[in-house]
Amino acid sequence: MGATRVSFTQGSNSWLWTPSLKQAQERLNQNAALRSALLLHGPNGVGKSALIARWLKDLNTRLFVPLVFTQATLSASSLLGALCLKLGKALVYRRERQLQSIEEALGEMEGRVPVIVLDEAQNYNQPTLEEIRLLLGLNLPAQPAFALNLIGDQNLLSSLKLRHHRALYSRLAAQVVLEPWNAQESLQALDTALRAVTYRDDVRT
């Protein structure tokens, strides 16, 4: 008798929706719909990136265009260039051409909302985060050009409150904190993961 799948993997259907994760998912959905800016933060290892990956997987691509950045070492110019590529535009190096390409791409979205995710956002420097903030106003006085999700550790919030990040901090519509699982949630997660594995008598080791 053995297991046909490995526990504690994405393919094992062992995801546990704790109250904290459900609340975070609801806030992410609201943020995308409203094209606003959201901060998701918490200690390392609490499942921030896993939650974002699962949320993006279920995002309706007829309504939203996910644009995920995991390289938190990108400079302001490099981030604009990477955004051009993700939007299907040719790579250019002059800032004015980058902005022009981004505006053109946004105009070709046919009503779909870009959803930008900056993972490990605490590692971005001030000019890069400021560039993202400026992009939020590309099509003013209409709605913001895209929804923005900043994902980072517990130091990100205090960093955004500093003077040189205050403009971006003021644009945040919501802050979501993910806390570590308590003892009961940890036991429930373990039980859920083990129950998700299907056992068969004919599985050979």
φ and ψ at residue 172, rounded to 5 degrees: -70, 125
The residue-averaged pLDDT of 164-179 equals 88
DSSP string over the chain: -EESS-TTSGGGT-----HHHHHHHHHHHHHHHHT-EEEEE-STTSSHHHHHHHHHHTS-TTTEEEEEE--TT--HHHHHHHHHHHTT-----SHHHHHHHHHHHHHTSTTPEEEEEETTGGGS-HHHHHHHHHHTTTTTTSS-SSEEEEEE-THHHHHHTSGGGHHHHTTEEEEEEPPPP-HHHHHHHHHHHHHTSPEETT---
On the question of pLDDT at 58 being above 70, the answer is: yes
Mean pLDDT taken over the chain: 82
**Where does the pLDDT of residue 8 fall: very low under 50, low under 70, confident under 90, or very high at 90 and above?**
very low
More confident residue, 198 or 157: 157
Q: Shortest CA distance to 177 belongs to which of 160, 153, 159, 161? A: 153
The span from the CA of 7 to the CA of 191, in Å, is: 10
Q: C-alpha 157: how far from its chain's center?
A: 16
Ordered structural domains, the chain, with CATH: 19-191 (3.40.50.300)
Is residue 79 within 8 Å of residue 128, measured between CB atoms?
Answer: yes
pTM, rounded to two decimals: 0.80
Tens of pLDDT along 88-145? 998 888 888 999 999 899 888 888 999 999 999 999 999 999 998 888 877 655 678 8
The span from the CA of 52 to the CA of 192, in Å, is: 20
The residue-averaged pLDDT of 32-49 equals 90
On the question of pLDDT at 20 being above 80, the answer is: yes
The span from the CA of 1 to the CA of 201, in Å, is: 4
Q: What is the pLDDT of residue 163?
A: 83
Q: Point out which residues pair with 67 in neighbouring strands.
A: 116
